[in-house]
Amino acid sequence: MNEEFGILFKNEALKYEKELLEQLTGVIDPELGIDIANLGLIYEVDMDEAGKVEVIMTLTTAGCPLADFIDSDVRYQLANFDKITEIDIKVVFEPHWDLSRISRFARIALGIPSDFIPN
């Protein structure tokens, strides 16, 4: 598990964690102006030896009007990594996303006190 972002990297994704994170931090939530990795929206990244990547992620709300935009941007960013041959994105709502998943960087950028603990 990546300690900074709370993302579980599995199989071949472990070998390419740095490169995959670089791509995922390029996906900016258009409403908040912060990338989805720092927002804690990525739960898991799995990659097999053939280069098929599965991303398990969530959104800040179930009815997020920008879900298609974020999905497309994840695909676009990951396609820039030449080891990837196929991309599968699964959006889940369990576990439920909350502010505790946000990185220190995102907390500072959003003005959330570091000692804030959500309900």
C-alpha dist (Å) from residue 26 to 3, 22, 115, 116: 19, 7, 27, 26
Statement: residue 119 has pLDDT above 60:
no
The pTM of the full predicted model, rounded to 2 decimals, is 0.90
Q: How far apart are the first and last CA of the chain?
A: 24
How far apart are the C-alpha atoms of 90 and 111, rounded to whole Å?
A: 30
How far apart are the C-alpha atoms of 31 and 39, rounded to whole Å?
A: 12
Backbone angles phi, psi at 67, to 5 degrees: -55, -45
State which H helix or E strand residue 80 sits in. Answer: none
pLDDT tens-place string over residues 36-78 = 999 999 999 999 999 999 999 999 888 888 899 999 999 999 9
How far apart are the C-alpha atoms of 52 and 89, rounded to whole Å?
A: 11
Strand runs labelled E in the chain: 8-11, 28-29, 34-35, 42-47, 52-57, 86-91
pLDDT tens-place string over residues 17-46 = 999 999 999 999 998 999 999 999 999 999
State which H helix or E strand residue 48 sits in. Answer: none
